[in-house]
Amino acid sequence: MQDRIALLAIRLADDHLVLGHRVSEWCGHAPVLEEDLAMPNIALDLIGQARSLYAYAGEVEGKGRDEDMIAYLRREREYTNCLLVERPNGDFAETMLKILYFAAYMEPYWQAMTGSKDETLAAIAAKAVKETAYHIRHAGEWVIRLGDGTEESAGRMQAAVELLHPYTAELFENDDLTAELANAGIASEPSDMRAEWDRTIGAIFAEAGLSQPDVPFPHSGGRNGEHGEAMGFLLADLQHMQRTFPGASW
Amino acid sequence: MGADVLEETTLQKRAWEAAASVPDPEVPCVTVADLGILRSVTIEDGVAVAQVTPTYSGCPATLAIEMSVEAALRDAGFKTRIERVLAPAWTTSWITEEGRKKLHAYGIAPPQESSNSKRALFGETAVTCPQCGSTQTSCISEFGSTPCKALYRCNDCKEPFDYFKCH
Ligand SMILES: [Zn+2]
């Protein structure tokens, strides 16, 4: 069971590290000062959550890997993040929507995990659930403001919806790992989050005047390490320091 | 044996006092004990073991706090070890009454319950101005100068102020 817990922790950590990295790319480029504070703060939350999870995964898998080794010294196919989070940032509307889509999934997930039989995962979740609620509020406000804004902002927001919606189904995919851990009372099945996600997104979209498109062919594969083109470039950036100076720390 | 126990109790008290006096690096008006970040200090085989808990997942000060506690104990003459504990998770309710008073006196509004609801889009929570006590305040930015704070403005006295987010 310990190795299964480590796999789940790494999967969750990969989602958070990759999204955290993407959001951190906005540092110094946000449209207003408040956003230039908000973006790195959100990135810090996500990367902090990833750190706790990687450190715990390293501890339970017992292979002598620390959080940096797992985070920085794997190959692309070994990352099991969902495809949504690795998407390039696009414009501000797209980034905010991506943060919202992910946070609306994670909030009920963390909430459920606070009752996990694994004490460490429950403690990580107890912190993360509050941080995630902030992300929903912040990104949700922007999705409403832009969706219900000018013709230009509404058009961009709806375009972001068309682009990113096909990546959301992957969030709710169950597999052998999630089934096993759900049976053991460690973590919920991703599909259990669907109803709450629909409620959160539905309420925000109603205020924003946005509509959810039909998605005949949703994207998937990240959980098996099958990533899009953007992932390699992201990892080149993310891993540069550790690859160039192995073991570097400060 | 009675003397040993007494000795250990005194040592433990001295170690706690040394560790508890460490100020928070980002909010130096309060100590790590005021914030509830320092969970315990015990003496184990002559080593002062301090349990420290992180506040926010991504708090960049966590390591700085651990190093400061370690240094304070060393300066007080202890061999020391720092343990990072995650469970039970820290919340703002761990902040002591003394800590809340110090925050307020420093000009930071202490955390208020129920201000962190996911449904509270456009944040409609009454945060009290630490300068004039008015509840007519508005949130300028959910994300302030550090991960633990949001930026507010008082609509009456017009002063901007930090709000220690409820967590
Ligand atoms: Zn005032």
Please give, one letter per residue, the 3-state secondary structure of B88-107.
Answer: CCCCHHHCCHHHHHHHHHHC
Tokens 């969706």 correspond to A147
pLDDT of residue B120: 47
Nearest to B22 by CA among B11, B14, B10, B30: B30
Residue A38 lies in a domain: yes
Which chain A residues touch B145 with a CB distance below 8 Å? 37
Residue A7 lies in a domain: yes
Write the DSSP assignment of A67-85 as a string of letters.
HHHHHHSS-GGG----HHH
Rounded Cα–Cα distance for residues B127 and B138 (Å)? 8
Residue A250 lies in a domain: no
Task: State residue B162 phi and psi, 5-degree precision.
Answer: -85, 145
Q: Kindly give the pairing relationship between strand B79-84 and strand B47-52.
A: parallel
Residue A156 lies in a domain: yes
The answer to whether B111 touches B136, Cβ cutoff 8 Å, is no
Q: Does A177 touch chain B (CB under 8 A)?
A: no
pLDDT of residue B1: 47
Q: Does A46 touch chain B (CB under 8 A)?
A: yes
Q: Does A69 touch chain B (CB under 8 A)?
A: no
Whole-number Å distance, alpha carbon B160 to ligand 1 midpoint, is 8
pLDDT tens digits in sequence order for chain A, 250 residues long: 999 999 999 999 999 999 999 999 999 999 888 899 899 999 999 999 999 999 999 999 999 999 999 999 999 999 999 999 999 999 999 999 999 999 999 999 999 999 999 999 999 999 999 999 999 999 999 999 999 999 999 999 999 999 999 999 999 999 999 999 999 999 999 999 999 999 999 999 999 999 999 999 999 999 999 999 999 999 999 999 999 998 887 6
Which chain B residues touch A140 with a CB distance below 8 Å? 121
Q: Does B86 touch chain A (CB under 8 A)?
A: yes
Find all residues with CB under 8 Å of B121, minimum gap 6, and list them: A137, A140, A141, A144, A204, A207
CA distances from A75 to A26, A220, B121 (A): 25, 19, 40
Looking at residues B155-163, what average pLDDT do you find?
Answer: 94
Compute the Cα dihedral for A107, A110, A114, A117 and give only its sign.
Answer: positive
- Say how many domains are in chain A: 1
Residue A28 lies in a domain: yes
Residue A249 lies in a domain: no
Per domain, the residue ranges of chain B are 3-92, 107-164
B11: which strand partners? none
Using a CB cutoff of 8 Å and minimum separation of 24, what contacts does B13-22 make? B14/B76, B15/B41, B15/B43, B15/B48, B15/B50, B15/B73, B15/B76, B15/B78, B16/B41, B18/B72, B18/B73, B18/B75, B18/B76, B18/B78, B19/B48, B19/B50, B19/B69, B19/B72, B19/B73, B21/B72, B22/B65, B22/B68, B22/B69, B22/B72
User: Inter-chain contact A138–B121, Cβ cutoff 8 Å?
Assistant: no
CATH of the domain at A139: 1.20.1260.10
pLDDT of residue B115: 47
Residue A173 lies in a domain: yes
User: Inter-chain contact B118–A119, Cβ cutoff 8 Å?
Assistant: no
Tokens 């409609």 correspond to B124
Rounded Cα–Cα distance for residues B89 and B95 (Å)? 13
Compute the Cα dihedral for A47, A193, A130, A27 and give only its sign.
Answer: positive
Rounded Cα–Cα distance for residues A87 and A89 (Å)? 6
Rounded Cα–Cα distance for residues A169 and A185 (Å)? 24
| ipTM of the complex as predicted | 0.78
pLDDT digits (tens, 9 = 90+) for A147-181: 999 999 999 999 999 999 999 999 999 999 999 99
Please, what is the angle between helix B62-75 and helix B2-20, to 10°? 130
- In this structure, which CATH number among 3.30.70.100, 3.30.70.20, 2.40.10.410, 3.30.300.130 belongs to the domain B3-92? 3.30.300.130
Whether residue B122 has pLDDT greater than 80: no
Structural domain that includes position A133: 2-214+222-244
